[in-house]
Amino acid sequence: MLATAAARPDLLVVGVDANAAAMAPASRRAAASPRRGGLPNALFVVAAAEALPAELEGLANAVTVHFPWGSLLRGLLGADPAVMAGLTRVMRPGATLSLLLSSTDRDRGAGVAPLEEPAVRALATDYAGWGLAVTQAQPATAADVADAHSTWGKRLGAGARRPAWLLRARLDRPPAPDAWTAARGSSTLEERDRVAEGDARWHANGGW
């Protein structure tokens, strides 16, 4: 997130995480004076992906989610209504969604099967129901992970030692408001995930 804020001072960059402590180091760095590397265009919000503040609605021209885990990963792979409603609600028409995802045999304990090509391709149909047109779905490379500036992705060795997938989609049409309302009412996911980095461009990440 901070790399995006530093590179694009013309953008409002919004970091969102359900766990405030996870954002504390980045928020302290951003709060410094500009001459000491502070980033006045960086904003931090404590919220879960399923319950983002109304103030973010329609704000994002890009949403990125890098190496989520737990319920956020399950929600993205299963196109869970609460997760999809939360993400699409903050996107403006034409906004992009970029995902870096990884799940292997070691992750079965978290309730997620190893992520393979058929499952990734199937997301195109699921996401279309939320107005998202998948434009790219391919194995992620080490360069893709490096470009994401995700320390968690680097720790995992994603794109090198550990397989990962890059998926991009465009919001062609926002879901109907009643779909968002129904999704909020039906959510039963327990949100423990890091829904970290954002820009408006809005950003979510499994780790800083």
- Percent of the chain past pLDDT 90, that is, above it, reads 49
User: Whole-prediction pTM value?
Assistant: 0.81
CB 140 within 8 A of CB 154: no
At residue 199, the pLDDT reads 34
- Phi/psi at 187 (5° precision): -70, 130
Q: Is the domain covering 12-20+46-205 a CATH 3.40.50.150 domain?
A: yes
Q: Give the angle 25-98-7 at the CA atoms, nearest 5°.
A: 50
Determine the average pLDDT of the residues in 179-188.
Answer: 55
Contact in structure between 6 and 203 (CB atoms under 8 Å): no
| The pLDDT value given to residue 61 | 92
Residues 40 and 32: beta-carbon distance below 8 Å = no
Secondary structure of residue 192 in the 3-state scheme? coil
